[in-house]
Structure 1
């Protein structure tokens, strides 16, 4: 019988150099804020991960490390078992993080004058990856209807037809709007990208965080053509809360694309993995399925609680349906606050550190992003604080 995990456990993270907890007041300019912002869980990792790390620590030597065949096999088996995608071990490339990989790819696969296509509101490092490398940015904004987002394919086709657009950064599942793209949606992206010779770099870091009724489809698994014209960025960091251990798996089936990526890795001397990260990731991939399933059920209850709370107590707020990720996207337009006013309201009145929506692009103005991967008591506390703050606006 599978071990039952206690996700209600409240673990004191203050004083642990946690960016989420120790950095919140400084970053947001508040005092004693409840941090529900950066995508970092407040749950203990699976026991098997801790045991594997303890065993490695007891070895007492931490010299240069290479990825093992056992590690690569664990990634391959995870992709096959969790996502029904049969990959080869040689396709799996290393990066300390997905954001690092995005910057390496933009730098190595495009040149000055090229444009990078993104779909705002979107994870801010997508936009920064283009800006950091001095590339142009072209936007294909998502369209929101009744709180649920979809792609504007007419606009996407027009934008992709621009010959200066060489690369698309696809967020799948999408952060922050919580969409899990359907096969038909992804096939249309693949069709348009192929027609315009645009490389699709699919950030699938949240691909394991999918709720019942939805199914993540790795972009490169769509077809042979998609497989040869895509780079898939994955990591155990969001899935198992291993972000600080700095290990990601960049999956590149095409030999030429993979060679080009590896040249970038060598150019910046990033080819050696973090020893602890590799050990933790393999343990998680081999033994973490039950933990993850329980974790997803718990997060879904948190999300349902927030949606119900808004309906019953704060009807001027609403959250987009959460299909994947653990990040809620809250529409605050009916509070009638400017984007800076909304940020100050959440910090000064509600005592909450939430990601301001405008940082995901101008399409995010009037929204905030909330992290729901935390004990339910934190969610209840946040909702109470938010209601008290909104009540002051009414007066």
Structure 2
């Protein structure tokens, strides 16, 4: 099976990252609602999705019946092989739970593993939806505010421990890499966080949806790669949606090694009707993970080039605004 799910596109295609695509009147959350504002809060890209994904979707659409579908073994295998190839994590099928998205899965996790008015720790500034899923489910937000010094963010561990040892704290939401500060948490920081959560019996949920959009010189450490006792107290949420610009497809997996936690979350995903895929999410995900590595390599180069353009512009035109560095200025051969 491993050989079947290695990358299939051995030739380097030249993908188009320059054509401006008109997204007006496409029900785009990013561009349609407000004409007078730049939608910089919406994390989808204005590049064409990889041609391989487009073709796989067209092929499936040509079949004239769009009924209910199951989660095929090929979908699990595409995740398993991608994570083994890229991050040396050997997942098992039974440790993976399909979900319709990272945030829907986090909602189900909160509902199942915490009680109303429980505290949930987040590290701010952070993705605004973290507040929404906590408050909308009648839980309380505890902010472990990140420290900003010399154009870099770091964790106040003394404050974090005080928040975690609160008897009403039952869950922590981690963002790795962190949105929006662009920081990839190092192994030492992750081990400290995990050890504190384990010490105070707080379940750690790691949102790692941006993990594939990292650059050489910056080592991304999956939370699931840490010591087994720490991982056993954790849940990792992953998805191809940000990486391959298919957020509208809505597909994710929840990785849980702990069998008891796995069963509980599985039950809640089912209860929330979040465990059944749509036919297009299946096709897009399998194709992304098995055929689109070269597209991703070229995307990363393009993103870096764009970042350098922004840096240069700010230095010349708006020197009072300082860009927080999130990657090295040399990258990827």
TM over 0.5: yes
Do residues 158 (structure 1) and 162 (structure 2) align? yes
In the alignment, what sits opposite 2:297? 293
In the alignment, what sits opposite 2:4? none
How far, CA to CA, are the matches of 2:88 and 2:19 in structure 1?
Answer: 33
Instruction: Tell me by how many angstroms 1:130 deviates.
Output: 1.2
Structure 1 segments of 4 or more deviating over 4 A?
none
Gaps of 5+ in 2: 1-10, 329-333
Gaps of 5+ in 1: 325-395
Secondary structure of 1:93's counterpart equals strand
How far, CA to CA, are the matches of 2:107 and 2:121 in structure 1?
Answer: 14
In the alignment, what sits opposite 1:5? 15
Instruction: Tell me by how many angstroms 1:288 deviates.
Output: 1.1
8 Å CA contact 2:104–2:274 kept in 1: the answer is no
Equivalent runs, 1:1-395 vs 2, <5 Å: 1-25=11-35, 30=36, 33-323=37-327
RMSD: 1.3
Instruction: Tell me by how many angstroms 1:217 deviates.
Output: 1.4
Q: Does 5-14 or 266-275 show the bigger shift?
A: 266-275
Secondary structure of 1:232's counterpart equals strand
8 Å CA contact 1:108–1:260 kept in 2: the answer is yes
In the alignment, what sits opposite 1:339? none
8 Å CA contact 1:118–1:139 kept in 2: the answer is yes
How far, CA to CA, are the matches of 1:113 and 1:36 in structure 2?
Answer: 32
TM-score (norm 2): 0.93
**Which has the larger share of helix?**
1
TM-score (norm 1): 0.78
Q: Deviations over 1:323-378 (max 9, x none)?
A: 49xxxxxxxxxxxxxxxxxxxxxxxxxxxxxxxxxxxxxxxxxxxxxxxxxxxxxx
Instruction: Tell me by how many angstroms 1:284 deviates.
Output: 0.3
8 Å CA contact 1:180–1:323 kept in 2: the answer is no
Q: Deviations over 1:207-262 (max 9, x none)?
A: 11102211211112111112211110111110111111111111111111110001
Secondary structure of 2:141's counterpart equals strand
